[in-house]
């Protein structure tokens, strides 16, 4: 069986908030930082970059997956969308194959994230 040396589990959720979000007003209400450019390569054309970079808000720590706690982050876009990302680091020697068998194959995948 393959052993995990380094990695992460990421669960993404996307929501439509409305027609537009004022990122300037959001920055005044919450501690939000601009997202980095999509690509740092010099060859990347400007039209592939954000016209207004989304804001990233750290929402705190996520419940542990196996033994490692994760973090929760919201990315808010000016066009009225938000994505919520749950991220957990993978610890070497974790029982991830067993987690997959017990949670995801049983059809109860949401319980891993929402319980």
pTM more than 0.75: no
The helix or strand, by DSSP H or E, that contains position 58, with its residue range, turns out to be strand 55-65
SS3 2: coil
Residue 83 has pLDDT above 50, yes or no: yes
Phi, psi of 97 (to 5 degrees): -65, -40
Residue 14 has pLDDT above 90, yes or no: yes
pLDDT bracket for residue 84 (50, 70, 90): very high
Nearest to residue 16, comparing CAs of 72, 82, 86? Answer: 82
Both tokens of 49, joined, read 């970059």
| Helical (H) or strand (E) element with 84 | strand 81-89
Q: How far apart are CA 28 and CA 110, in angstroms?
A: 34
């Amino acid at each position: 069986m393959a052993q995990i040396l380094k990695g992460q589990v990421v669960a993404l959720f996307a929501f439509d908030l409305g027609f537009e979000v004022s990122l300037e007003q959001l920055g005044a209400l919450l501690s939000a930082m601009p997202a980095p450019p999509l690509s740092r390569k010099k060859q990347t054309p400007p039209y592939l970059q954000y016209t207004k970079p989304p804001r990233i808000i750290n929402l705190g720590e996520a419940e542990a997956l196996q033994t490692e706690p994760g973090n929760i982050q919201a990315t808010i876009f000016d066009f009225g969308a938000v994505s919520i990302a749950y991220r957990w680091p993978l610890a070497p020697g974790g029982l991830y194959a067993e987690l997959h068998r017990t949670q995801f194959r049983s059809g109860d995948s949401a319980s891993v994230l929402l319980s």
